[in-house]
Amino acid sequence: MAQEGGPPFLFSLFMFLFMLSSLCDCHPHSAGFMRSTTAARAVSNHTARKVSDIATEVAGYADVAKQIIDLAVFGAAQNRSHRRLADFTDTIGNRVSGSHNLEMAIKYMYNAMTQDGLDVHLEPVKIPHWVRGKESAEMIAPRAKSLAILGLGSSVGTPPEGIEAEVLVVQSFEELKRRASEAIGRIVVFNQPFVSYGETVAYRAYGASEAAKEGALATLIRSITPFSINSPHTGWQDYQAGVKRIPSACITVEDAELMWRMAQRGQKIVVRLTMGAKTLPDADSFNTVVEITGWQHPEQVVLLSGHLDSWDVGQGAMDDGGGAMISWEALSLIKDLGLRPRRTLRTVLWTAEEQGGVGAQQYYNLHKVNMSNFDLVMESDLGTFTPVALQFTGSDAARKVMTEVVKLLVPINTTKLEAHGEGTDISPWMQAGVPGASLHVADNRYFWFHHSEGDTMTVQDPQAMNLCSALWAVVAYVVADLQDMLPR
């Protein structure tokens, strides 16, 4: 039927052009063009839409969000992520890069998530393979005392007979440089105070090379922690190119302060250090990927993640077994409710994060060609204690959307959106402009246990993990199901 008041031939011409346009859009040769312009259209659509319209759309997910929260916190899935983590860490134990345990962990998770009814695949990567070997340290003078140590990742070992030398104790890199002549032929002990992890970790990372520049034979670094019960904390350290590589280990806060007090009294301190550490050729490993495919835009992705590897002490329950488990649990919750978002939900369990995000960097290199289709990247790697807020990095327009999304978390009282999403594994994406989010939890105790024998299931609380899982699932699902991608 022609439009009222218009000639019939004009209506016929309009319908012909409309049908022709539709056919062109469906033509196989235009598919690539359509995919490449999807993100651009999403941005322009978001720009055109009013904030009030977006708020209304997001608010429409209140019932779904409540269903997810109820299932995770009060329903059949209550405590499930905690049970899964306990089963996993009790069965496998710790999982350092290159180890047989890490290989077993990947197989375990592949089978477990497949049995959960999810679509799982593995993506191969090469990862570092450092082995601790036998290690020990003893103070010989001014009195005999065994020192608790953990060699630092990538450290070289000592000669088989060990290194016995006088100790120089310093509290900063600046003090080391001032006393450079005293470092020659000695073991340098760094007794730096803990300010924050981000600031103080420089001593663990660069202490060996800085001391080697001044002629030191080895370094012992005060563990990077604000609290200690004579517990050494390990971690990765980086040798500088062109600088002699000397052995490096962390010692406890108590022993670092003991030697500092002795040095202040003018006492001569002698330590014998023995380390069997060595680096083997890179090992084969995998990033573990699990998906719920989107019904409308399967090529567009909301990515959730945690890392599957850990250090070779404790159980790796907190760092980062919990983050890996809630990233699996989020997909389980959505699947159990029969939900399927517009876009694909993809959980990636990274390998070799502790060595500097090695698995994640290779994932980025492989998938960055599709960067325009990555809607949001999420990482949980600062514990799964009680959630406090969602941290977010993105454009102002994207932040307005995410501000509305976290309002859906009223039932669990985590409606705060903070600046600066963070995570070693998602940082390449955020640096390239992809919106990123991380979980902010009540982490005041995180560095008490971090990279130590204390990182066990005893640290984990099932109710806190329920809340983290609920938050993770709600945010991921809603962002993946919104009409438009987050604007860049």
Taking alpha carbons only, the member of 291, 429, 443 closest to residue 366 is: 429
Query: Is residue 161 annotated as part of the catalytic site, yes or no?
Result: no
Burial 441-475 (b: 16+ CB within 10 A, else e): bebeebbbbbbbbbbbbebbeeebbbbbbbbbbbb
Read off the amino acid at residue 28: P
List the catalytic residue out of 353, 354, 404, 422: 353
Q: How far apart are CA 141 and CA 188, in angstroms?
A: 15
The identity of residue 191, as a single letter, is N
Cα–Cα distances (Å) from 203 to 55, 64, 195, in that order, read 46, 47, 12
Phi, psi values for residue 87, rounded to 5° = -60, -45
Residue 73 CB partners (closer than 8 Å, separation 6+): 412, 463, 466, 467, 470
CB atoms near residue 206 (< 10 Å): 19
Cβ within 8 Å of residue 140, ≥6 positions away: 164, 270, 271, 272
Tell me the two tokens of residue 192: 């730096």
Under 8 Å between Cβ of 450 and 311:
no
CA neighbor of 430 nearest in space, from 403, 402, 394: 394
| Enzyme catalytic residues | 353
